[in-house]
Amino acid sequence: MITIETISAHVHAGQRITSDEALFLFRFNDLLAIGELAALANERKNGTNVYFNVNRHINPTNVCVNRCAFCAFSRTSGEDGAYTLALDEICKRAHEAERDGATEVHIVGGLHPDLAFEFYEETLRAIRSTAPRLHIKAFTAVEIEYFSRIAGLTVEKVFERLISAGLGSMPGGGAEILVEEVRQKICPEKISGSRWLEIIRLAHRAGLKSNATMLYGHVESTADRVAHMEMLRTLQDETGGFQAFIPLAFQAENSDLKLDIKGTSGIDDLKTLAIARVYLDNFDHIKAYWIMLGEKIAQVSLAFGVNDLDGTVVEEKIGHDAGAQSPQSMTKEGIIRLIRKAGKVPVERDTLYHPIRSY
């Protein structure tokens, strides 16, 4: 029989917990008991260090052929509010980022019906020459699959060309919930969960590190969340290419998903992060994306197994178009203060988790 005591014994002994045990934790009400286990699992991996990076997000276009039901960011071509940044503007933002001390640009966008694959290669090349010190973390598995379709190239070839143009690693978006029945409800046009996993497998084989996200707090069940994490844990056993797991709290405003709830609760946010820390024993980092969580829950999550607070971001569109109440960006000093006040040691890192400086 599964009890909190048997799970606790596994965690204390450094053993992996099962999917049934993770599900038990989702249905268990003692948040602090779960948090304690997560804090222990995290402390073993990361001590008291909490990572952040100085980065800037750039979303080259919000025009997207997919129009996922949860996404308030995307537009159809020609619709009010649709935009596509010129290459010059993208380079200007990358240049400003480098000038202001960023070490990373994070680039994701919609699946544009008219832009050619060469535009994305050119974007990488142009950033590399304008801001050579920046690491370029770009394109979700969903975009990579789209590039392979529009260019008529294999996914392997797409990776080869993007890496040669300057791609350094991949963010974790597009995973949503990998369970097919859920995808049919929230993003029927998007690549399947198994295709997402396959593209990431190929990315890792090509030598790229990536993250993995989970969009939660909409139509999915807690069993779906566990199934999602199980798929990630299995792939990580095979490739070891994931760096961070990032649960993304659903922002409900302006979304086409007709739900009774208007977003996640603080308890659910903390529980989800803590269970992820305990269950994903082969992931080094659990990231609290403060943009979706709000700064206060993100800070409290540092006592619930989280060891990464993402970055300065500078300009955020995906969550804010969907009603996120957090600011658009945080200063480096703001992030450092937030981590210190949680009794942890702030460590600025680069994209690949090499420490740059402790504060």
**Closest residue to ligand V47 in the complex (CB):** 173
Stretch that binds ligand SF4, among 2-10, 20-28, 71-79, 117-125 (CB under 6 A): 71-79
Asked whether position 176 contacts ligand V47 by CB under 6 A, the answer is yes
- Reading the block at residue 337, the tokens are 């203060």
For β-strands 104-107 and 135-138, DSSP reports them as parallel
CB 358 within 8 A of CB 347: yes
Q: Is residue 71 a contact point for ligand SF4 (CB under 6 A)?
A: yes
Q: What gap in Å lies between CA 357 and CA 108, rounded to an integer?
A: 27
318 scored as a contact of ligand V47 (CB under 6 A): yes
CA distance 117 to 127: 16
- The region of 44-52, 66-74, 255-263, 266-274 touching ligand SF4 under the rule CB under 6 A is 66-74
d(CA 90, CA 84): 10
CA dihedral 109, 115, 118, 119 (to 10 degrees): -60
For residue 160, give the amino acid letter: E
Q: Give the whole-angstrom CA distance, residue 284 versus residue 240.
A: 10
| Residue 90 site contact among ligand SF4, ligand V47, none (CB < 5 to 8 Å, cut-off depends on kind) | none
Task: Map residues 115-154 to x or -, x wherever contact with ligand V47 holds by CB under 6 A.
Answer: -------------------------x--------------
Taking the C-alpha atoms of residue 107 and residue 89, their distance in angstroms, rounded to an integer, is: 13
Of the residues 197, 215, 227, 300, which one makes contact with ligand V47 according to CB under 6 A = 215
The correct pick among 22, 38, 90, 142 for binding ligand SF4 (CB under 6 A) is 142
Report how far residue 258's alpha carbon sits from residue 246's, in angstroms, rounded to the nearest whole number. 24
* Least distance in angstroms from the C-beta of 213 to ligand SF4: 11
289 binds, among ligand V47, ligand SF4, none (CB under 5 to 8 A by kind): ligand V47
Nearer Cβ to ligand V47, position 251 or 301? Answer: 251
Measured from the CB of residue 210, what is the shortest distance to ligand SF4 in angstroms?
A: 16
- Distance CA(182)–CA(224), nearest Å, equals 8
Of 108, 227, 211, 105, the closest CA to residue 166 belongs to 105
Residue with tokens 């658009």: 328
Residues 6+ positions from 43 with CB-CB distance below 8 Å: none
Among 66-74, 97-105, 127-135, 271-279, which window interacts with ligand V47 (CB under 6 A)?
66-74
Instruction: Determine the size of the site formed for ligand SF4 (CB under 6 A).
Output: 12
User: Which residue carries 């789209």 as its tokens?
Assistant: 146
Residue 211 binding: pick among ligand V47, ligand SF4, none (C-beta 5-8 Å cut-off by kind): ligand V47
**What is the layout of strands, in order, in the sheet containing 210-216?**
210-216, 242-249, 285-286
Longest dimension (CA), the chain: 61
Task: Please enumerate in sequence order all residues whose Cβ is within 8 A of that of 294, keeping only pairs 6 or more positions apart, or say none.
Answer: 325, 326
Residue 172's binding partner among ligand V47, ligand SF4, none (Cβ under 5 to 8 angstroms by kind) is ligand V47
- 66 makes contact with ligand SF4 (CB under 6 A): yes
Least separation in angstroms between residue 264's CB and ligand SF4 is 18
> How many residues touch ligand V47 (CB under 6 A)?
24
- Binding stretches for ligand SF4 (CB under 6 A): 64, 66-68, 71, 73-74, 110-111, 142, 187, 190
- Binding stretches for ligand V47 (CB under 6 A): 70-72, 108, 140, 171-174, 176, 211, 213, 215, 246, 248, 250-251, 255, 289, 292, 310, 318-319, 322
